[in-house]
Amino acid sequence: MSRSATGLPARRGRAGRRVAGTAAVALAGAAALHAAPAVLALAGPRRMFAPALAGTGRGDHVALTFDDGPDPVSTPKVLQLLADRGVTATFFLVGANVARHPRLAAEIAAAGHELAVHGLQHKLLLRYPPRRVADHLARAHDLVATAAGTAPRFFRPPYGVLSSAAWAAAHRLGMRTVLWTAWGRDWTARATGSSVYRTVAADLRGGGTILLHDTASATAAPESWRATLAAVPTILDLCHDAGWKVGPLHEHGLVDPR
């Protein structure tokens, strides 16, 4: 009797397909788990389900944060404005920019501001496998720590899109992931000082975290930081009139994530 008549090849074929199917399901599940936190980039789900991740703090305080620097043209102008107003903030720095401008990064810290990590490059972390994400964040962490003279406490993923691998890597490095409750959409070509102010004000409440940009990333409109610079004084006036103290994240009294 031939082997084919016994049915063994057919059974082996079915078993192989079951194994392949199980592997495909496992891979799809792993990919879904990796990407699941990305939904929290949307403001509604974030505020509803993850207020700690959104950066909700004390009701009498507003955290002011800037992403994507440092840049030798725009960052010093933002620093001067904040110095004139007697305000300190948290700067989420891109590691590659810190490597290019280490002295400027150190100057941000020397001015009393808090340095935090915004990735090694301004790229979507969902594109990378967990090991590469961990390597990127470790390198960015070390660059920022060297500039600040102390280990960074906070991490914000580029574009606000978080993966489980990025969250875990940041946690292992002792960093808490924080996004925002209000932003200015200040990276767009149509942004103006007035539009940035209105966009922030629409969502800002006591205990909120504001996202602005002290420079333009590769995906932002050139010179878009000028709209931010024009909006910051009016945003600070709004907070003052509401009785909210403005400062960095480490003074914000962030809610317990557990």
Catalytic (active site) residue 122: no
Q: Which of 113, 213, 214, 252 is catalytic?
A: 213
- Spell out the residues 6+ positions from residue 159 whose beta carbon is closer than 8 angstroms to its own: 41, 124
220-to-124, 156, 188 alpha-carbon distances in Å: 14, 17, 6
Q: Which of 61, 67, 101, 141 is catalytic?
A: 67
Residue 19: count of CB within 10 angstroms of its CB: 10
- Rounded to 5 degrees, what angle do the CA atoms 119, 39, 207 make? 75
Nearest CA to 169 out of 136, 200, 194 is that of 136
Catalytic (active site) residue 136: no
Query: Which residue numbers are catalytic?
Result: 67, 213
